[in-house]
Amino acid sequence: MIEKDKQLQQALEELKQADLYRSRRVIDSAQGIYLQLDGRQVLNFCSNDYLGLANHPEVIQSFKEAADRYGVGSGSAHLVCGHGLEHHALEEELADFTGRDRALLFSTGYMANLGVIAGLMVKGDTIYEDKLNHASLLDGGLLSGAKFKRYLHNDLHNLQLKMQGQEAGQNAMIVTDGVFSMDGDVACLLGLSALAEQQSAMLLVDDAHGFGVLGRSGGGIVEQYQLTQAQVPLLIGTFGKAFGTSGAFVAGSEAFIETLIQKSRTYIYTTALPPAVAAATRTSLRLLQVDGWRRDKLNQLIMHFRRGAEQLGLELMPSESAIQPIILGKSQKAMQASAALLKQGIWVSAIRPPTVAQGSARLRITFSAMHDIAHVDQLLSALDAVAI
């Protein structure tokens, strides 16, 4: 064990030398535009709380009332005695919201992606995944034991080539993010849906970063493109982004959802979300639908930032989402830029390999409806001063 400890210490030191070491920072405040970090207030541009619901008073009140009634823990897995009224009501409301037959709750987004893919696909099946998919989608594909193929990012032609020779009747699944979490661009969903139908393949979309943000009523990328359950049979979303709470869900047909209840290991063998979290999420779901101004304001902030960044000569990626990366290349450069911004009281995360490809380390800037134009201008001035 002593020898293994030395090996691990050496590997950790190598990560530090390569500017790839990850460290946690401890905040002492609620999530919001301003965070309390190391005894001072910093302006936050690295949260996924896109609509500003994580600290919304109505969401908090719903949590408190449910905690008073149901306590703070669910006590068990959904299939034992942990499936409560708040869970069930949330599933029904999500099914209605997404236009699907049913919805099923998971304790985290990672567990949803692992459980859905591995619960439906087995050895002998084939899974096709975008190269820039989230790690949880990739891990779900590998865990399933199915033949695993990755296609070039948003490249329908490359996917079509990969699917040539697929045997008739063989189970196949195309898996994609809706909004790609590190680049901020969206999947070419119309083309993917058409190809899936042509090849008799299932299409799974993880719209973690699209729900609440995209679509007329916040229904995400499938609402934006007006795609039905038949066109996108499996729709996954998380509550830790625009919903401002915690957990995840999958929505789909009666047969898909019932199969997952029977076979998805990450659903069956884990404790259910606290009922109070489900209650809070129900309030978030209502707010993200009725408060359309949040999406409108978020879009205004994004456009203002992109115009300002262009004037500064910053090279942005083709993203119209709340995720606005600035590619800097080397990990050291990204770390230095992030540290320089923090000195100015602005928190922007540096994203490095293996989260992104070698040579594409970046600042990942994210916006919230709670930001104001003045906050964006402050960020732009700070970026100009850092001279990245």
Which one-letter amino acid corresponds to residue 38? D
Structure token digits, residue 167: 């045997």
Structure token digits, residue 207: 């719209």
**Cα torsion through 259, 264, 268, 270, rounded to 10:** -150
CB contact at 8 A, 189 and 232: yes
In this structure, how many other beta carbons lie within 10 angstroms of the beta carbon of residue 312?
13
**Nearest alpha-carbon partner for 238 in 196, 209, 263:** 209
CB contact at 8 A, 225 and 257: no
Enumerate long-range contacts of 79-84, CB under 8 Å, 24 or more apart: 79/261, 79/268, 82/271, 82/272, 83/272, 84/272, 84/275, 84/278
Q: Which residues are catalytic?
A: 181, 209, 241
Distance CA(359)–CA(87), nearest Å, equals 43
Distance CA(299)–CA(30), nearest Å, equals 24
**Nearest alpha-carbon partner for 59 in 67, 48, 70:** 67
Who contacts 30 (Cβ-Cβ below 8 Å, separation ≥6)? 54, 55
